[in-house]
Each structure stands twice: as structure tokens, then as C-alpha cells.
Amino acid sequence: MDSSAWFKAGQLFLRQNMGSGRIPAFWILLTGSNGTMTIRTRFAPSPTGYLHVGGVRTALFSWLFARKHGGVFVLRIEDTDLKRSTAESVNAILEGMTWIGLEYDEGPFYQTKRFDRYEVVIEEMLEKGLAYRCDCSRERLDELRDQAMKAKEKPRYDGRCRSRQVDPGSPHVVRFRNPDEGDVVVDDMVRGRVVFSNEELDDLIIRRTDGSPTYNFTVVVDDSDMAITHVVRGDDHLNNTPRQINIMQALGMEPPRYAHLPMILGSDGARLSKRHGAVSVMQYMEDGYLPEALINYLVRLGWSHGDQEVFTKEEMIQLFDIEDVNKAPSAFNHDKLLWLNQHYIKEGDPLHIAHLLSPHMGRLGIDPTQGVSLVEVVKAQRERSRTLVEMAENSRFIYQDFEEFDPTAAKKHLRPVAKEPLERMKQALENQTDWTREALHSLVEAVSADLGVNMGKVAQPLRVAVVGRAASPGIDETLYLVGREACLRRIDKALEFIRHREATA
């Protein structure tokens, strides 16, 4: 079989067996006869809550690295924490990835469906002496910890069971036999060279008493089986990396390259959390942010390309370099995100914005099919809306009659002097057959000229009558969007308001 056939066979094998545990540890997917390695990255969230914006940034950088190098982006759900993992959290992850637009090429793979594979590897490690059973009691382990703390030393297991024969039928954990000497060198693509001494690492538990595998072990098996070549993740995982490398090397696996991203901080310098505002990606959707705005903002948290602020996805892929990511943490700036969101609302395709606006209108009890097209609404409101929630709320008047006039606007503009302009406008609108913006603008101008007043003396009372407040798009746009019947009905309401005001003066 020639080399080309070998490569094709390898690709087919990997596609058919991905996540099954049948892929040899040495398998690296190759793209063709030139022998170049296919970059394979992964995003591996734990489904124990919402999808955090920090997790989305990690997924984004991992996705960009794969896309830039023509690679493969894998989604893996690390759900081995059976007590905290929930189906709702899994759905939140999948929904968030879909909304934000980070399409994955393979997966989602679930660790809970791979327990048999983990058990096979653990048994192999026990047979080869790479791991051992430990039945040390919780009380003994607590005592070791207390002694270390009193001596101001890092708590670590003392290896008591390394040389003991523990009954497999008794309650026990399985520990990895970590090397006693030497260093683990992590050539990190963000942080640079980081060295860990094996003397600082203890014998990690890889299987709990209940038989379930632990995080650091399952990650090793998964990354090898799924042929992950580059791991992009938060720097809170940096201390896990030497443990994982040691397990990989003991098993004869080739460790991936690592890139540990600095954390995201709130405005007060503390780690970003709920007290700083929304941190769930789906909360940003609920709050009326566009996915492209959030993605654009997150890519600039720790990475930059000169002074450029706005990037298309294509530009991100072309320009992004993981080695240009800053080592220092970045502070989340909600005002900057709001600015970007307004930019995308103003500059985006009105049809796309209308599609995203629709559910926000629905939450207000508005059926957008019962009135003017949402695309027209977007065109009218995009210059004055920072979020889709604002746009929906500010556009309520187009589809729904309001209960009351804004008191300040009514006091200023719905005075007895406004009665005649409103009556004249009502009569003109009743007879208007051409309901276009241009024709309506000319109509307001004509009534103003006929009354001998400037256009504002007619337009502002009319605006308050039709909208209920003093702010809206241009008067011609406003009349066009609201429609004839609603305009006439609301002008009647304004005239009644003025008459009542006169009677009680």
C-alpha cells in the first residue's frame, strides 16, 4: 500500500472510531501525502451550570486556532461529575455554542459514555505497575494534610500504599505512580516555558472508591483517543498540566501542545463573576446582544491586531495567532461591549437583525406579523438602539396602543394650542391615500404651512399623540410604521386628553 493509501485509510479509521477508545495512542491524523499534521483542538466544558463568557472565549480561541490552520474543532462534554452535571447544563452549552456561531466538526462526545474505555486503561496501568490501589482512610489523609499545613508545606500523599498489596475487593482508590524525580517542562504557547518539579507532585487519584474515573485521568485518555494536538484552556488548569503530561508519557502517549489563557477580571480586578453583571452567554442573548458583537468583544480580551476594534469572523481567522495572546489578565468592560453591539445593530443586515429581534418582540406580547415588517422597524430604529431589548421596547408603540401619555411630554405638547394642529392632521390623514414616508412628510409640511407655524409645532404634538412620548423616529417614519387606523385612533385619544385638560383647568 502506498503512502497516499495509508493516509486515506488513517483518516477513515479516525472518523469511524473517534471517541470509541479504539484509536492507538500514537495515531496522529495526517492530511495527505505531504505528511503534514492536521491540527485538532477541543472545547471541553463541564455541564455543571451555564456557559460562562470565559468558557466562550476559550472555545473561540480554540476554534480560531483550528480554523486558521485548516484543522478540526472537537466538542467534548466532561460530565464525569455525576452529582453536579445536569441535562439542563448540557443543553445550555449546546444552545450557547449554536447561538454564538462556533460550529464544531466532531462531537459532542460525552465522558459518561466512555467509562468502559477508562476502566480498560486503568486496569492496564495496574498490570504494568503504573498505578496502584490505595486504601488509606480519610482520617489518615486528613492527618497528613494537617501535618503539612503546620509545617508550611504543600499537602501531598506520602506514597504509603505504593509497596502494599491492597485487596481489590476492599474499598480503595487507584493512584497514578508519579515519577519521584526530574522536572516536567511545559512549553506553553501563551505563557512560555513553565517548569514543574516532580517532587511537588503527589500520586494522583485516577479512580475513586465508587469506581468513577477522575478529571485529570479522563482528560488524558480523551485527548489521546481523539488525537488532540493542541489544548487551549484557562490558566486555572495550568497546575493540572504536569500531572496529565506525566500520565501521558507513562502510557507512551504524545502530549499535545498547550496554551493557557489568562483569566477574565471584573471592573474591580477580581475574577469575573455574577456580581459584575451577566456572565452567562445566554443571558447576553436575553439582554439583547448580538452574537457577532459578543464574539468580536471576546476576541479582543487578551488579543489584538494593532488598533483594529471591529473584526469579521473571516478577519479573526486570518489574523489570529495564539502566541500573540497576552499573558496578563484582561478586564471585562461592559461599556465597550455595548458600543460594539450598537455598531453591529447599525451596520448589520436589517433582515438578520430582524430575525434576532423577533423573539424580543414576542416577549412583549407582540406578534410582528400583525403590522409592519420587522425589517422596516429595524431600519427605523437601528440608529437609536444599543440592544435588541431597547429596540423592542422602543418599538412597542408600532404594534400596541399605549395606556397613558408620558406625563412630561403630554404637559409640554398636548396643550390647548395643539388642538387645531391635531384636528387638521386627523382630517388630512383620513383623506390620505398615498401612505408612504414621502407623502406623509409632505402632508405634515402642508398642514404646518397652512397654519402658518413651523413644522415642529405640528410634528411634536402629533408625535406625542401617536407614540405617547416625545421621542421616536422622524414623524414621517413614525406615521408610516404605525399605520392609518392606529394613528387616527391615537389622535382621538390625544384630543380627548386636551379637552379633559381644558375642562379641569
- How far apart (Å, rounded) are the C-alpha atoms in residues 341 and 110? 34
b/e code 429-464 from CB counts within 10 Å (16+ = b) = beebeeeebeebbebbeebbeeeeeeeebbbbbbbb
- How far apart (Å, rounded) are the C-alpha atoms in residues 89 and 71? 27
* φ and ψ of 493, to 5 deg: -65, -40
**Cβ 465 vs Cβ 414: under 8 Å:** yes
pLDDT at residue 391, as a whole number? 98
- How far apart (Å, rounded) are the C-alpha atoms in residues 273 and 54? 10
Torsion of CA 19, 22, 27, 30, to 10 degrees: -60
pLDDT at residue 505, as a whole number? 73
pLDDT at residue 154, as a whole number? 87
Q: Where in the sequence numbering do the catalytic residues fall?
A: 274
- How far apart (Å, rounded) are the C-alpha atoms in residues 149 and 142? 11
pLDDT at residue 174, as a whole number? 98
Using alpha carbons, list the distances in angstroms from residue 297 to 55, 209, 288, 337. 14, 44, 15, 6
Per-residue pLDDT of the chain (505 residues; tens, 9 = 90+): 443 343 344 444 444 454 444 444 334 444 433 456 799 999 999 999 889 999 999 999 999 999 999 999 999 999 988 888 999 999 999 999 999 999 999 999 999 999 999 999 999 999 999 999 999 999 999 999 999 899 888 888 999 999 999 999 999 999 999 999 999 999 999 999 999 999 999 999 999 999 999 999 999 999 999 999 999 999 999 999 999 999 999 999 999 999 999 999 988 888 887 777 768 899 999 999 999 999 999 999 999 999 999 999 999 999 999 999 999 999 999 999 999 999 999 999 999 999 999 999 999 999 999 999 999 999 999 999 999 999 999 999 999 999 999 999 999 999 999 999 999 999 999 999 999 999 999 999 999 999 999 999 999 999 999 999 999 999 999 999 999 999 999 999 999 999 998 888 7
pLDDT at residue 408, as a whole number? 96
The beta-strand segments (E) located in 218-334 are 230-234, 257-261, 264-265, 330-331
- How far apart (Å, rounded) are the C-alpha atoms in residues 232 and 36? 21
pLDDT at residue 414, as a whole number? 96
- pTM > 0.85: yes or no: yes
- How far apart (Å, rounded) are the C-alpha atoms in residues 88 and 130? 38
One-letter amino acid at 154 equals K
